[in-house]
Amino acid sequence: MWEVFLVDSNVVDNKSGQLTAYDLISNRVIKKPMSASALFVQDHRAQFLTENSKTSLEDATVQIEELWKTLSEEEKLKYEEKLLKTWKDTISK
């Protein structure tokens, strides 16, 4: 959300909001990669909702995030490696 206060016709006095990284060479927006836990949630959400059809999307996400917290470091490392691969693929495009 942007807040702009005009003092003169073309002068911006105060501006706030999110910065967007933009690749000028390939002329596209650079998206921030998901976290390893977000990748885990994304991978498990569909199956979880299939098994628990009456659970809301928000509750399912919270429960899957709790499951992430119980994973061993070895299992979390798989998603961190997947994150790095995704990030490298994004940069190389």
pTM score, whole prediction: 0.62
Report, as an integer, the average pLDDT of 56-68: 93
pLDDT above 80 for 91: no
- Structural tokens at position 64: 């899957």
Predicted pLDDT at 87: 77
Mean pLDDT for all residues in the chain: 79
CATH fold for the domain made of 3-92: DNA Binding (I), subunit A (1.10.30)
Q: Which of 15-24, 33-42, 65-74 has the lowest mean pLDDT?
A: 15-24
Amino acid 7: pLDDT: 47
Q: Whole-angstrom Cα distance, residue 24 to residue 12? A: 24
List the chain domain ranges: 3-92
